Structure formats: structure tokens, C-alpha cells
Chain A
Amino acid sequence: MSVKPDVIRKCLWPACLVGLFITGILSLDCNFLNIHLSRVTWQNLRLLSVMSNSFSIECLRENKAFELPEEILSHTQPVKNDIKEAFYEASIQAFNIFSQYTFRSAWEEKHLKQIQIGLGQQLQYLEQCLEEEEKENEDMKEMEEEGTKHSATMVPRLSHLELRRYFNRIDNFLKEKKYSHCAWEIVRVEIRRCFYLLLKSIALLRRK
């Protein structure tokens, strides 16, 4: 029993919304890479919807609330960079998770490859972008030199920690369910949702 038409319908709407919101990213302080970043991000989001042929209803039983940290998505983020870093973190974690995929039969090889390529691209652009900003940011240079001094600089990155805990829950879920097909499906949908909400926050922040 396939709920494909429903899932696709559900996906088209957020995908379109993201397409509209994507322009929000363009104004963040990175150079022309943003054009590519937004395009690639949107394509990845779309790919996350398309890569699965069917989401069986039985998998819904195994659904789990991963509790995406809402603070990250709040519009009261004082610094735009925070949310971009959160997005970078989410991208890395998603990349790591999908790299563990070995379940051959469900997702087509090419889709899996494409999502890995796509996330790799996304990461590349984000890295370059953040590096550029870092170079401009004098404060960061001081930290670079003090390699031995461990993070007594507890600049509270609690939001990132929350995000990490979220992905840790996803990771543990996969291990618990022994990387079953249903577990992968649920994770795929969850990551898609996470990306979508992050992108939306970025766009809304930009409007402020």
C-alpha cells in the first residue's frame, strides 16, 4: 500500500514554499556562492522527497518524535550567523547519516548518490561561505592561535548542542532499529522537515 500521491502532494507544497523562501538566503553575507547554495539546497530538499518510491503505512507505526529544537527556529536569533551555522551543522549531520546508508533495495542507487553529492555540495558552499566570513571576523583569528587552550571559551553554543542532541537521537534511533527500511524512511522524512524549517527561519530572519 503506497501513499505516494499523498506524500508527493505534501512535498510539493513545502518544496514550493522553500523555493519562494530561498531568495532569503541570497542576502546573507556570502558572495555569489549563495546563488549556488540556494539552488543546491532546494534541489536537495526536492531530492529528499523524490528519492523514495513509497512510504508504507506500516512504517508510520515506528514513527518517533525527534523533537527538533524549536529555539533554533525562533525568530529572535540575534545573529544571522547562528542560524547559518546551525544549517551547516544540520547539513554535516545529514551528510554523515546518509553516508551510513547501506540498505540497498529501497532507495535507488542513483538517488542515494545524488543526495550525497548534493549534500557534499551544500557543505562545500557553506564551508567556503563561513570561511570567508571568518576571515573578515577578527575575533576568530585569536582563537585559532590558541590551539592548546581548550574550550574554556564556553561561548554558549547551546543551540548547536540542542541540534546535536537532536541528530544524536536520530542516530540512536537508526541503530536501535538496526537500520531497517522503515527506520530509514522515517529518518529521511525527518531530515527533510528539519531542512525545510531551517530554511524557512533563514528566510524569515532576512525579512527583519
Chain B
Amino acid sequence: MRRHPKGGRFYYKYKREKGTNLKSPQNVEVYIVDDSCILKWSGSDEFVSNVTFSVDYQIPEIDDWIKLPGCQYVTSTQCDFSSLQLNVYDEVKLRVRAEKGNDTSPWYEVDSFIPFQKAQIGPPEVHLEAEDRAVILNISPPGTQDSVMWAMDSSSFTYSLVIWKNSSSGEKRTETVYPRDKIYKLSPETTYCLKVRARLRVQRKVGLYSPVSCINTTVENKLPPPENIQIDSNNWNYIIKWDYKYENMTFQAQWLYGYLKKFPGKHEDKWKQLPDCENVKTTQCVFPRSTFSRGIYFVRVQASNGNNTSLWSEEKRFDTEIQTIILPPLINLKSVNGSLRVYIGAPKESENKSVDQPYRLTYEINFWENTSDTQSKILQKKTDFTFLNLKPLTVYCVKARALILEEKWNKSSDFSDTVCEKTKPGNTSRTLLIAGICIALLILAAVVYVVRVLWRCINYVFFPSSKPPSAVDEYFSEHLLKNLLLSTSAEQIERCFVIENTNTVSAAEETNHAGEDYKKYGSQTSQDSGNYSNEDENSGSGLSEEVLLQGAV
């Protein structure tokens, strides 16, 4: 045990091993500002001289500790390890120990850290240029141009500025500024002081303030710059308007890509002329929408009267998205069965290209009968819908406009052209019509059929067909048939001749009695069918024949 010379306190040492006389460095801390990486510590014992320190480092890929060049056996209590060319996003481990002679203290290991995370944003560099009522800023990002720490952040810094008048009141004004920017609304011939610091929003890093710089604004310029720039738009053009105190001036306007503002450095040469706004005599200028593709731009205006030119006006930010104009839609009407179908189409630009309208649009449709004045309004999101239950054969008119109805942002287009269309006859009358037509056809068919039947009847009655059926033809000759058919009307009469006279009369009386039997016989035996049919007449002839026969017997 050793008695410590200081104040009588006893320091108990642990095992007397090699290198354990010394205590490790205390209060070891890492300070990183921009690219300067410094390890600081304090020796355990300020009064002991001839103590040196060494620092080692370790990176993830290599397992061993590596001696930090320039920080071996140094007497100072800090070490700059900026030159290590570390990847600032990788973990690093450091350790430090004290040495005296042959004794070494135990290593003090610093918790592993990521340089980028530990890094503090240093002060930016500020250059100033004075105008009469404004100060032009030129801010260089923290660190050097080849900064390793901020290599990926050169355009990511956002800057905030504090400015005040150097006089007694010193009211401070804070603004967020671009690397190349202007502070407006200052008074001429006044001293202003300001300081700027950079910020990385996502990493929650706030930088150190730059040293305060002061500047005097100049004498007031003869010609003030144009003020109060407003940018409006209509369907085809953008209109820039501004105010100016004096008459008879000519103006010109320039524009700049918005994104260029994020880059430090000069872009005075990047401003471009607005061709339609060169040397305009009025305090406004109009240029077509096609000049700018979608994006954010800055616009500035300058006045001149031949001899003198004013300074540039305030740079007005101009966003085509916010200035967007909704064009009125195209309407197509189609009358269908007593209702009206409406098609809302996308508007077309003059060159017949259909316009890209990606916002969700709501349509306000005005709808009225042509003859009446009352209009009904409905809001619709669909582009294809139908008005039902309309009066048939009436003319209805429709006009519509497109709206964007979002929180805090209302925009509407102009009304489209009015389109009118007559509704078709209604459902019921139409069905009647169809029914009527069908019935008429049926009736016609029926009439035709009836007429055909009648005609056949008439034909049958008055103009019969004279042809007998063919079966009959087979059995009868044509001639016989004719006779049979025709003999109904005319009959042939046979002539009878008496052959015997009176002698025969008595015989005839007897024979009369016998004749009666003969008559019977005659009637029975008469074979002549044809003669039978006319019995009265033929029997006479038959009798005569019998008499003849009797006579012969």
C-alpha cells in the first residue's frame, strides 16, 4: 500500500500486477463536429507527469484492436481520429489507456458508437450581400466541400436564421431560409446582424450557430422593386399581377426551377426569361399554361424606365399543382326508354388530347326541363348515371361542373356547355304500340285465312270439279257409264207387235187365267232387269211374249 501524497487519503491498490499502478483515463468522451472526430479524456492524476496515453480502435470487419496512428504515447489528453477514413455509418470502438514508463493502465473502452449518429452539425458559412431593403444570403453547408460526414446531406440541410437590427431594440426575427435566399422587409441604411444554423430534420440534429455577421443595407434605390406578386390561372393561361408605384414603366419577369433553391452555390445564371413577359407596359403579364410542366417554380419581376432598373422583386413561389385548373367536363346525353342517361367525360384540350385529371372529382349537375326555369342540382361521383321517371317526349337540359371537395381545398371548374335531349315516348304507350302492331298483323293473317276459305267454298259450290274419282273409272267403261248416267232422263220404249188375231182371243182368255199365272211366271221369270224397272209398260210386252210362248206350246 502506498500513501498518496495528496491529503492523506489512502489509495488502495489492487494486486500489484504489471501495469496496474496507473488508473485508466477518466471522463472519456467522443466529440464529433462535422468531420473532426476527437476523443477527449482526463488523466487520473493531474500531478503525475510523464504519463502518456495510447488509443486503439476497432471496426466491425476486423476483430483485433488497431493502433490509432498519431495517438500512440501522446502526452495530450485528446486524440483526433478524423483521418481514419472510417465509414461514418459503421460502428466504431475505441479504447484508451495511460502509460508511464513500463506501467500501463487498464484499457478504458468507449461504448461502440456510430460516428454519424454522434456527429454534431457545425456552423455553416455565411456570405452576405446588401441591397436597400433586402439582404442576399449565400450559405455554405457545414463542413468542407469534401466532407465525409455530410457527403449525403449537402442538399438536405434546412437552415434557420435569426436576424435583428443592431440598434437598441434588437427585435429578433427567425426565418427558415434556403442556402441562396434573400431576407426582405428591411429598412435601408440600417445595420443588421444575423446568425444561421443548419438542421437535419429526420435525424433530429440541430447544428451550431454560425458566428454573428453584420451588414449595412444600402441607400434606398431610386426605383423600388415591384411588390405584391400574385399568380392566378384560368383554363389556358397563367396571369402574374403585381403592384407598382410609378407609371410608365416596363417590366420583365424571370423564372427558376424550384428545386435549384435547395442547392448551395450561385444560381443567378439559372434564372430564365419569361418570353411573354419581356418589356410589358402593364403591371401584369399573361403566358400560356404550357410554358411550365408540373412542378414548383419561382418567379420574380423587375421594373425599368429606360435609364434605371429596379432591383428584383421578392421571389414568389409558384406551384402548378395548387394553381391547377379543373376544366369543365364534356357531357353526353342519351335518351333511353323514358329516362335520360348521362355520360360525363374528361375534358379535352384544344389539340384533342385528353387532359390528365387525377384528382377525385365530384360533379355538380344542374338538370331542368327546357320549358321550366326550376333547376335541380345533384352531386355525383360517378360518371355514368341515369335520370329515371321522366316525362316522355319532353326536352330536358343538363349542364355540369367538376369540383374538388377536399378538406381545406375547394376548387371548381366552369360549367360545361348545356346539352339538351328529348326523351323518347314512355314505356306504356310504347308497349301499346307494339301490341297494336302485333294485333293488326294477327288480324290481317286471320282475314287472309278467312278469305281463302270462302274462296274455296265458292269455288266448290259454283264451279264444281267434274272429274269422278279414279276408282270408279276402273270398273265401268266410259261409254256405259255415260249411258247409265244419261238414261235417267230419257227412256227407250220398245214397240210391241201383235202376231195372232181373234182365235187366239179365247185362247187368250184362258190364257188370261193361265196368263195370270203366267203373269206370275212372267213376273217371276222375267229376267230382263232393265225392262222390269218400268213394269207397267214392259209387262205388257212381257205378256205378249208369254202369249207367244203359250201359243207355241
Chain A interface residues toward B at CB < 8 A: 31-32, 35-36, 39-40, 42-43, 85, 88-89, 92-93, 95-96, 99, 113-114, 116-121, 123-124, 127, 130, 143-144, 146-148, 150-151, 153-155, 157, 160-161, 164-165, 167-168, 171
Collect the chain A residues with CB atoms within 8 Å of residue B50's CB.
none
Collect the chain A residues with CB atoms within 8 Å of residue B201's CB.
85, 88, 127, 130
| Complex alpha-carbon distance, A123 and B258, angstroms | 11
B158 touches A127 (CB 8 A): yes
Shortest Cβ-Cβ A-B pairs, 7 listed: A120-B259, A117-B295, A150-B120, A32-B409, A32-B408, A36-B321, A92-B156
| Complex alpha-carbon distance, A147 and B198, angstroms | 10
B204 touches A157 (CB 8 A): yes
Collect the chain B residues with CB atoms within 8 Å of residue A123's CB.
259, 262
Cross-chain pairs A/B with CB under 8 angstroms, 23 sampled: A35-B359, A40-B321, A88-B202, A89-B202, A92-B156, A95-B262, A96-B156, A116-B257, A117-B295, A120-B296, A121-B259, A121-B296, A121-B319, A124-B258, A143-B206, A146-B206, A151-B118, A151-B205, A157-B117, A164-B116, A164-B152, A167-B152, A171-B152
Collect the chain B residues with CB atoms within 8 Å of residue A157's CB.
117, 202-204
CB distance from A116 to the nearest CB of B (A): 5
Max chain A C-beta neighbours (<10 A), residue from B119, B120, B321, B406 = B321
CB distance from A185 to the nearest CB of B (A): 21
| Complex alpha-carbon distance, A192 and B419, angstroms | 45
CB distance from B194 to the nearest CB of A (A): 15
Q: Which of B120, B154, B208, B406 contacts A96 (CB 8 A)?
A: B154
Q: Which of B87, B202, B295 contacts A121 (CB 8 A)?
A: B295
| Complex alpha-carbon distance, A127 and B117, angstroms | 22
Collect the chain B residues with CB atoms within 8 Å of residue A116's CB.
257, 259
| Complex alpha-carbon distance, A172 and B409, angstroms | 43
Q: Chain B, 143-187, contact with A by CB distance < 8 Å: what is the 0/1 string?
A: 000000001111110100000000000000000000000000000
CB distance from B511 to the nearest CB of A (A): 136
Binding site secondary structure of chain A: helix
CB distance from B262 to the nearest CB of A (A): 7
Collect the chain B residues with CB atoms within 8 Å of residue A39's CB.
321, 358-359
Collect the chain A residues with CB atoms within 8 Å of residue B206's CB.
143-144, 146-147
Count of chain B residues with a beta carbon within 8 Å of a chain A beta carbon: 46
Chain B interface residues toward A at CB < 8 A: 31, 33, 87, 89, 114, 116-120, 151-156, 158, 197, 201-209, 257-259, 262-263, 293-296, 319, 321-322, 358-359, 404, 406-409
Q: A32-B407, A130-B201, A150-B120 are in contact. Are A121 and B321 (CB under 8 A)?
A: yes
Collect the chain A residues with CB atoms within 8 Å of residue B322's CB.
36
CB distance from A77 to the nearest CB of B (A): 15
Q: Which A residue sits closest to B263, measured CB to CB?
A: A99
Collect the chain B residues with CB atoms within 8 Å of residue A99's CB.
155, 263
B202 touches A96 (CB 8 A): no
| Complex alpha-carbon distance, A167 and B153, angstroms | 11
| Complex alpha-carbon distance, A40 and B259, angstroms | 14
| Complex alpha-carbon distance, A121 and B120, angstroms | 28
Collect the chain B residues with CB atoms within 8 Å of residue A119's CB.
259
CB distance from B342 to the nearest CB of A (A): 26
B407 touches A31 (CB 8 A): yes
B293 touches A161 (CB 8 A): no
A147 touches B209 (CB 8 A): yes
Q: Which A residue sits closest to B155, measured CB to CB?
A: A96
| Complex alpha-carbon distance, A168 and B116, angstroms | 12
Max chain A C-beta neighbours (<10 A), residue from B151, B158, B204, B208 = B204
Collect the chain A residues with CB atoms within 8 Å of residue B408's CB.
31-32
Collect the chain B residues with CB atoms within 8 Å of residue A121's CB.
258-259, 294-296, 319, 321
Max chain A C-beta neighbours (<10 A), residue from B203, B293, B408 = B203
Given contacts A32-B406, A118-B294, A151-B205, 5 further A-B contacts (CB under 8 A): A42-B358, A123-B262, A150-B118, A150-B120, A151-B118
B209 touches A161 (CB 8 A): no
Q: Which of B33, B207, B407 contacts A147 (CB 8 A)?
A: B207
| Complex alpha-carbon distance, A93 and B189, angstroms | 42
CB distance from A118 to the nearest CB of B (A): 7
Q: A31-B407, A151-B117 are in contact. Are A120 and B295 (CB under 8 A)?
A: yes
CB distance from B38 to the nearest CB of A (A): 12
| Complex alpha-carbon distance, A178 and B206, angstroms | 34
B120 touches A151 (CB 8 A): yes
Collect the chain A residues with CB atoms within 8 Å of residue B156's CB.
92, 96
B295 touches A118 (CB 8 A): yes
CB distance from A153 to the nearest CB of B (A): 7
| Complex alpha-carbon distance, A42 and B153, angstroms | 24
CB distance from A170 to the nearest CB of B (A): 10
